[in-house]
Amino acid sequence: MYIRALSLLDFRSWEQAELELPPGRTVFLGSNGNGKTNLVEAVGYLSTLGSHRVSADTPLIRIGTQRARIGATVVNTGRELRIDVELNQGTANRAQINRSPVRRTREILGILQTVLFAPEDLSLVRGDPSERRRFLDELATARLPRLAGVRADYDKVLRQRSALLKTAGRHGRSSGRGGSGAELSTLDVWDGHLATHGSVLLAQRLRLVHELYPHLAQAYSAIAPESRPATIGYRSSSLPPEFLDPARVPQSDDVDVLEAILLRELSTARPKELDRGVCLVGPHRDDLDLMLGSAPAKGFASHGESWSFALALRLGAFELLRAEGSDPVLILDDVFAELDRRRRTALATVAATAEQVFITAAVAEDVPAELEANPLRVETTGEADHRASRLSASPSL
Name the fold adopted by 126-325: Glutathione S-transferase Yfyf (Class Pi); Chain A, domain 2 (1.20.1050)
Kindly state the average pLDDT of the residues 44-51: 95
Kindly state the average pLDDT of the residues 231-253: 92
pLDDT at 217: 95
pLDDT at 343: 82
Q: Mean pLDDT over all residues of the chain?
A: 90
Per-residue pLDDT reduced to its tens digit, 302-333: 988 999 999 999 999 999 999 988 899 999 99
384, pLDDT greater than 60: no
pLDDT grade for 383, boundaries at 50, 70 and 90: low
Task: Judge whether 30 is annotated as a binding position.
Answer: yes
CB atoms within 10 A of CB 79: 7
pLDDT at 75: 96
Largest CA distance in the chain: 76
Task: Judge whether 38 is annotated as a binding position.
Answer: no
Task: Judge whether 33 is annotated as a binding position.
Answer: yes
- Going from N- to C-terminal start, the domains of the chain cover 1-113+328-397, 126-325
395, pLDDT greater than 70: no
Residue 83 to residue 99: CA distance in whole angstroms: 7
Residue 377 is given by DSSP the state E
Task: Judge whether 31 is annotated as a binding position.
Answer: yes
Task: Judge whether 93 is annotated as a binding position.
Answer: no
Task: Judge whether 35 is annotated as a binding position.
Answer: yes
93, pLDDT greater than 70: yes
pLDDT grade for 91, boundaries at 50, 70 and 90: very high
Spatial contact of 29 and 36, defined as CB atoms under 8 Å apart = yes
Task: Judge whether 32 is annotated as a binding position.
Answer: yes
Q: How many residues can be counted in the chain?
A: 397
Per-residue pLDDT reduced to its tens digit, 100-126: 999 999 999 999 999 999 989 999 999
Alpha helix ranges (H) inside the chain: 36-48, 123-126, 129-143, 147-175, 181-223, 241-244, 254-276, 297-300, 303-323, 341-351
CATH of region 1-113+328-397: 3.40.50.300
Task: Judge whether 34 is annotated as a binding position.
Answer: yes
- Bridge partners of 74, per DSSP, are 3, 81
pLDDT at 8: 95
